[in-house]
Amino acid sequence: MKRILVVDDNPLVIKLTSQYLSRHGYEVAVSEGPFGVLNKVREFAPDVILLDLMMPGLSGTKLVELLKDARIYHGFQVILFSSEDEKAQSALIERGLAYSYFFKGQSLEGLSEKINEAALAMAA
């Protein structure tokens, strides 16, 4: 069972996304905002982190840099989960800070496929 950590500051997004992922057989943990994520990663050891970019106090961009620089990195993949424009998200992928992105606001139906792709890439 793949372990997914959902990081977002919007409680409704967290609820809907975690329910969707749980129904599709994933083990899900959540972090309501960016603070405490490093500890959550240490405790939960996710395969994939679904990360919002626009959060107060600490942007998702800075958080993903911290995650990759931290000694806790164990090969998880990061999927950006944002309504940010494609150019901003693509830049993080090009820098090697994220595997892919999934736009908020579109149907969650494609999210399982994106997560499975990320998990396969991690295993390769």
> Which segment of 24-28, 66-70, 113-117 scores lowest on mean pLDDT?
66-70
Distances (CA, A) of 43 to 2, 9, 39, 100, 104: 15, 20, 6, 24, 27
| CB 31 within 8 Å of CB 7 | yes
Distances (CA, A) of 84 to 26, 62, 70, 98: 25, 15, 25, 14
Per residue in 49-68, pLDDT (tens digit) is 999 988 888 888 888 888 87
Q: Please give the mean pLDDT across all residues of the chain.
A: 87
Domain ranges of the chain: 3-123
Residue 9 token pair: 């500051």
**Architecture of the CATH domain 3-123:** 3-Layer(aba) Sandwich (3.40)
Model's pTM, two decimal places? 0.90
Residue 1 token pair: 């069972």
With cut-offs at 50, 70 and 90, classify the pLDDT of residue 75.
confident
pLDDT at 15: 96
What phi-psi label fits residue 90: left (phi over 0), alpha (psi between -120 and 50 degrees) or beta?
Answer: alpha
| CB 84 within 8 Å of CB 55 | no
| Sign, CA torsion 56/70/99/108 | negative
